[in-house]
Amino acid sequence: METEKKQTNSQGRQKRRTRSKKQSKANGSAKEKAKKGGSKNSLLPEQNRKPYHSNLPQLPVKKVLEPKETCVLCGEVIDGIASALTHPDGGFCHFDCVLNKIKEQEKLSPSQKVSYIGKGAFAVVNQEEDGSFSFAKRIAWESSEAFAKMKQYVEEIKK
């Protein structure tokens, strides 16, 4: 008899334990829902986190002084040397000035345009009615050596 009581008591305890665990889980999730303010399927991050601020000192930023070169073609100051091209005779010139000079030198039909194709080269482009295009002529304006010299010049000026 005593063994039966012990078995039923131990089974009752286990049921109570499991029941209390389930109840505590249910209560805990309700608390978490109240903290988050929404359903547990929310994809938004928690909004109550404080931003992290580093205690390390900020590194000084190098100041880059743009060289104030004048354009060989128009004579005006070049504001952004990164958008300038080197002139074959020496010096620097605006990208737009080079584009306009090539347009003047080339005799273009109404369906042709001058376009920059990279690496210091321009091209006369034939644009077809269906939207396709082809290159009619390639014009090399800037050599790779001149570009390397310009890049080195700009790097030397940085402070």
Domain count, the chain: 2
Q: What is the pLDDT of residue 147?
A: 80
Model pTM? 0.54
E strand intervals along the chain: 84-86, 92-94, 112-118, 121-127, 133-140
Residue 53 domain flag = no
Residue 58 domain flag = no
5-59: pLDDT as tens digits: 555 555 656 555 555 555 555 555 544 555 545 455 677 766 777 888 888 998 8
Residue 68 domain flag = no
The residue range of the domain holding 138 is 81-157
Return d(Cα 152, Cα 62) in angstroms, integer.
17
